[in-house]
Structure 1
């Protein structure tokens, strides 16, 4: 049996480099002034989101999930602490294309068809209309919606409209997808189907952060951060649950 090839003397062990975080939040606090009183919606949150992560922010309404999500996406700025995007240009040209949002209310444009809604981000980024519509049709097909391409939002069910919103978020191949209670207005079966198509459609290197109050939804993701009273109180990773 041949001997294993020896590593040349003095040659260092090669290890895979650590992934550069897509977003890095450090001791982030967000406070608001309400009727002359200071209300702290988020306090001392620290977490990193790296390529390929599938993360749930699990907590009740008012726990700080949406506030944290908005900070991670650059929609808001912290009162204290820092949010940076090391792998995304650190906030320069952070959007469009690099970060995408899916909200609880599907927020489609009422006058536009499903196809036109999905094509809209590409058109805003300067892609020619014919190419934008081809890519939009591709994503509608991936989310099992191509037969509804010519339907207006009012002609879609809640689950169908939310899948159109997901297609619109994914059409630019974003590296970070932030979803704020995307299943919150859906029944459990429709919610699980939405998760099925969303997780299957994600680019492998893209990261997903989803705010939810539903433990069944959270368990579909690899990491669960539990939130309470504006704080990240615990984290569970799937391999820890199965070990």
Structure 2
């Protein structure tokens, strides 16, 4: 692991009116790290991921991406996100959804579709590549979203409960592909989960409790 800081949060909080989604967090994600963010539903895991991915701004504190540059240039190539909710585009097939980041970056359509198809095959979705999102199960749609996150070779992948809708066999297969692909491209990986079995596959564990990150790695 080198010492590049991909994402750093310093004393961040996120409030929505009177609702406190995240009370206190200081952390950093280094290049090629594998981190599990453990916590129960509503503990603030998703909020922290959104802040680290530049999808929302903190109510207090600061988030920066020292090795990646300004927030405007993070997606889709430098930072990729796997959302907890269904996030595929309805008019596109599973294959087209998975290839979308590469297509947006100007890749040749044939190359983009081939790369996406390979990832979908490895995730056990070779038989549904032409199906629309409405024709997929929740677990299949989540695996397509994982392929979409991986396809552009990002530096940082943030995944919100990626195994939440999968049985144990497909959850294990997804984690195998996700970790192997991160190893191949040298990406850092942060997975928000309430499943201790997922956490055992990663190198470090952060614990989120009632909107507070404990212990976390204190940012300098």
**TM score, norm. by length of structure 2:** 0.89
What's the counterpart of residue 144 of structure 2? 164
1:80 pairs with 60, 76, 94, which one? 60
- 1:104-143 superposed Cα distances (whole Å, 9 cap, x missing partner): 2342223322211111222222223222222222322333
Alignment partner for residue 45 of structure 1, among 20, 25, 40?
A: 25
In structure 2, the residue matched to 1:19 is 3
Match of 2:131 in 1: 151
Measure the CA separation in 2 of the matches of 1:31 and 1:42.
7
Structure 1 CA distance, aligned partners of 2:94 and 2:179? 20
Shift of 1:31: 1.5
Q: 1:214 aligns with which of 195, 206, 214?
A: 195
Given that residues 143 and 201 in structure 1 are in contact (C-alpha distance below 8 angstroms), is that contact kept between their aligned partners in structure 2?
no
The DSSP-based 3-state class of the residue aligned with 1:82 is strand
- 1 CA distance for matches of 2:170 and 2:191? 17
Instruction: Find the residue that maps to 2:67 and give its secondary structure.
Output: helix
Compare CA radii of gyration and give the structure with the larger one. 1
Contact 1:104 1:183 in 2 (8 A): no
Partner residue in 1 for 2:161:
181
- Tell me whether 1:128 sits opposite 2:108 in the alignment: yes
- Contiguous gaps of at least 5 residues in structure 2: none
Are 1:138 and 2:118 an aligned pair? yes
Deviation at 1:174, TM superposition (A): 0.7
Determine helix, strand or coil for the equivalent of 1:96.
Answer: coil
8 Å CA contact 2:157–2:188 kept in 1: the answer is yes
**Structure 1 equivalent of residue 186 of structure 2:** 205
Quote the Cα distance in structure 2 between the aligned partners of 1:71 and 1:212. 16
Structure 1's 101 and 221: CA in aligned 2 closer, same or farther, altered over 3 A? same
Pick the aligned partner of 1:101 from 81, 96, 104: 81
Asked whether the 8 Å contact 2:27–2:216 carries over to 1, the reply is: no
Q: Which has the higher contact order (CA 8 A, sep 6+)?
A: 2
Count how many residue pairs are aligned between Structure 1 and Structure 2: 216
Question: Counterpart in 1 of 2:215?
Answer: 234
RMSD over aligned Cα, in angstroms?
2.1
Shift of 1:92: 4.2
TM-score, with normalisation over the residues of structure 1?
Answer: 0.81
1:156 Cα deviation from its structure 2 partner: 3.4
Given that 2:123 and 2:173 are in contact with CA atoms closer than 8 Å, whether structure 1 keeps it comes out as no
Separation of aligned partners in 2, 1:95 and 1:108: 16
